Structure 1
Amino acid sequence: MSKPIELYFWPTPNGFKAAIALLEMGLPFDLHLIDIGKGDQFQPHFLKISPNNRIPAIVDPDGPGGKPIPVFESGAILQYLGRKTGKFYPSDERARVEVEEWLMWQMGGVGPMAGQANHFLRYAPAMDPPQVLPYAQDRYRNEVSRLYGVLDRRLAGREYVAGDYSIADIAIWPWVRSWENQEQDITQFPNVSAWLDRIAARPAVQAAVELGKEARSNLPHDKNAQKVLFGQGARS
């Protein structure tokens, strides 16, 4: 019997990606909360697993050759788990490329742009002193809107972004579900709205979004957490 995978997690979009995948694929796991507002991500034991001091990360005790393997970066985790289980990550090369295109679209587009929109619209105005930067707010709000338009067109006549439900949907959904924090009008994107509801109805997704719910700190108004999250440089 395989040992549980160790999941290092905090309830953020990227954290939810790994949790959803584990639950969807039926893989047992032990949950380790990494409170990013308190700086748990900078602890030496975590940096050995995730040198970029970001969640999520996993350690699979039953890795290749039966030896433990740590995996950091949420996209790499999804690909690893998909290969390990053969679920939600097709083996056919054409189908796999399609899934990977949309996975990378999330990693390089929706994630970073939505993250910046969230920062300048919610976190920066709550700083001391407040940082209200209209250019940055408009820049990232508009770019997120453009990306939502791309996704809406992609989902026209489709239930999922790349064939069947896949790690691409698992990657994108946790970011787009926060459309309100990104100040998007979801009524402009009816295909995206229907897709959000479709994914949200899945039991594994519902279970994932409950993880760590009680432990999450009061961001964006926690001043100490802001220093930890946004005050780090190369020498920190």
Structure 2
Amino acid sequence: MRTQHLPAARAVLAAALIVLGLLAGCAGRNVVQAPLDPVSSPEWATDMARFAAEDVATPPPARPVVFTGSSSVRMWESLKRDFPGVTVLNRGFGGSQVRDAVWYAEEVALRYRPRQIVLYAGDNDISEGRTPAQVVADTRAFVARVQSALPGTPVALLGIKPSPSRVHLLGFQRETNEALRTWASRQRNIAYIDVFTPMLGADGLPREELFIADRLHMNAAGYALWREIIGPYLLR
């Protein structure tokens, strides 16, 4: 596992308080919460500063459906157009992992007092060698962070998408998705959305026509498919 430096003293303190809050919340239920791993990169501080600047320049809408997570969210340029009846806010930061969403939950979601949060993460985690169990544990930590700060806020978890460039990881992705699906089915206000299966062809491999040249990120057809899958889950 790579060792990363935390981006700033403020982030260290804020994240430490988050972890302590999660530990305290779990203690009352006799559940032991493993300490959260450090952020995957110090570069996310720049993204958080950009979000703050955007909020000043263009005040965000009240109680939006916040989409956050890695590059599949960040690159969704048609997000607002795709869901015209929903007030959405894009707070994706490309290359991020689930644990990064936990560390920066306040900056990417909580401060907007969202009516719903849609999270896409785990793709990069698996690619960087994290296990399905780690992805699920980090996802549970994210949900716990949300529920502690904003009780009752619905969270929709997007399954890890299959992509041609990461076809060798399909087994790990399936395992992670199934674990997330099983866990979410036992929770209140948590939905698992399967984007994995519809993105596979009849041969069981990722559909090439859904991706841009890098064979990792989606093109307009890929996002159109996501729009159809995710739309029914969104709160209006």
TM-score grouping bracket, smaller chain normalisation: under 0.3
Give TM-score, length-normalised by structure 2.
0.28
- Which structure would you say has the larger Rg? 1
Give TM-score, length-normalised by structure 1.
0.28
More helix, by proportion:
1
Structure scoring higher RCO (CA < 8 A, sep ≥ 6) equals: 1
